[in-house]
Amino acid sequence: MNLLMFLLIGAAAGWLGGLVMKGRGFGLIGNIIVGIIGGVLGGWIFDFLDISAGGSMRSSLLVSFVGAVALLFIVGLIKGSNKKG
């Protein structure tokens, strides 16, 4: 059950992050990947800022969403710096 919740939270966070940063999601697998990486990044951000989000499913989604948005922002900066012209 924990793995299923992990994947569902990752998919939801990736989808929401995609909506905020580029106006659409990335498909199921892409959303899960963005959400899981975002969860790790969000956990690091919240820990670095000494913010406790709690241990609920809602707080896990919030942390993953924040991380997904940060991840997509960073990827956008990197992709933008590689464009010529």
Model confidence pLDDT, tens digit, residues 9-67: 999 999 999 899 876 777 888 888 999 999 999 999 999 999 988 888 899 999 999 99
Between 60 and 82, the higher pLDDT residue: 60
What is the reported pLDDT for 70? 93
Q: How confident is the model at residue 78 (pLDDT cuts 50, 70, 90)?
A: confident
Global pTM reads: 0.86
How high is the pLDDT of residue 31?
A: 87
Helix (H) or strand (E) holding 63: helix 57-81
Three-state DSSP state, 84: coil
Cα R_g (the chain), whole angstroms? 13
